Structure 1
Amino acid sequence: MPEKEKIRLVSRAEAIADIYSEVVPEPATTMLVIKHSMYKVSAGTGERLSDSDDWDKIEIPDTPEARRADFCLTIYGNSMEPVYYDGDIVLVKQQNAVERGQIGIFVIEGCGYIKKFGGDRLISLNDQYDDIMFADYDPDDIRCSGLVIGRV
């Protein structure tokens, strides 16, 4: 095929592709409404977290993780970097315990944390933060609120 003919065919194909990209809309992202805590959870040294029903509802993309989540929380702080960052919204499956090594939402003396469960401690992923030792707190004031299953 002559070079001139190739150039003409490529130009024509590009023009058709441009028309299609303008005419064919992107598929709409399906959204899901989920309850979102008005309180933030700390990825640091603790953030007050109430047991009251201070929730709003937000729309998030409909994903398999989002459908499994019972609620979501916003992270405040940097102790879970490089996996979770300040301002991230995490999806949480409500449950009373997580397995060792899993990331969960914990409440200690009224403060909420997102941390890795270490059996007798909570572990930050950012090595600038010390572990939170359960022995330093009243065991009746420590509880797990759920398993982090994803991020919005």
Structure 2
Amino acid sequence: EPVSAGTGNYLEDSVKETYDVGHLAPEQTDFGVRISGDSMEPLYHTGDVAWIQKKDSLANGEIGIFYLNGNTYIKELHDEPDGVYLISLNQKYHPIQILESDSFKIFGKVIGKCKGAEIPGFH
């Protein structure tokens, strides 16, 4: 299931599809997610696959996969004096502030990407 680069999409715990990606994924890759939406352009585009290393914490400014209130996002994490934010690279999207009351989890760090079309049999 794609993760949203915009409004959010839920990433389930189960594996949806398995592909032989060979050299396309960095060695430390735990899983890949298909990108949907334009909020992380110009770096990530709809149809790209982001390679994820499972981690439960990220450094300030790192791009990761995040669960927030039932949806899953690819965003840049910003820890600011006034709070923690998920930031889009595309300036037309507003930062999302993480509140104490939110259900929030870090799935992992984005460590690479490829075009979905580069993966044999991927659609």
Answer whether TM exceeds 0.5 for this pair: yes
Q: Verify: 1:80 aligned to 2:40, yes or no.
A: yes
Distance in 1 separating the partners of 2:4 and 2:56 = 19
For residues 39-69 of structure 1, the C-alpha deviation after alignment (integer angstroms, 9 at most, x for no partner) is: 2111001112223x13321122415x52210
- Find the counterpart in structure 2 of residue 5 from structure 1: none
Instruction: Give 4+ residue runs of structure 1 displaced > 3 Å after superposition.
Output: none
Q: Which of 35, 44, 54 matches 2:15?
A: 54
Q: Verify: 1:138 aligned to 2:98, yes or no.
A: no
TM-score by length of 1: 0.68
Q: What SS does structure 1 have at the residue aligned with 2:110?
A: strand
- Find the counterpart in structure 1 of residue 110 from structure 2: 148
Distance in 2 separating the partners of 1:80 and 1:138 = 26
Higher RCO (CA-CA < 8 Å; seq separation 6+) = 2
Distance in 2 separating the partners of 1:138 and 1:58 = 37
Distance in 2 separating the partners of 1:101 and 1:85 = 19
- Find the counterpart in structure 1 of residue 66 from structure 2: 106
Q: Which of 33, 43, 55 matches 2:5?
A: 43
Aligned length: 110
Structure 2 stretches lacking a partner, 5+ long? 115-123
**Would the aligned equivalents of 1:50 and 1:110 in 2 still touch at CA under 8 Å?**
no
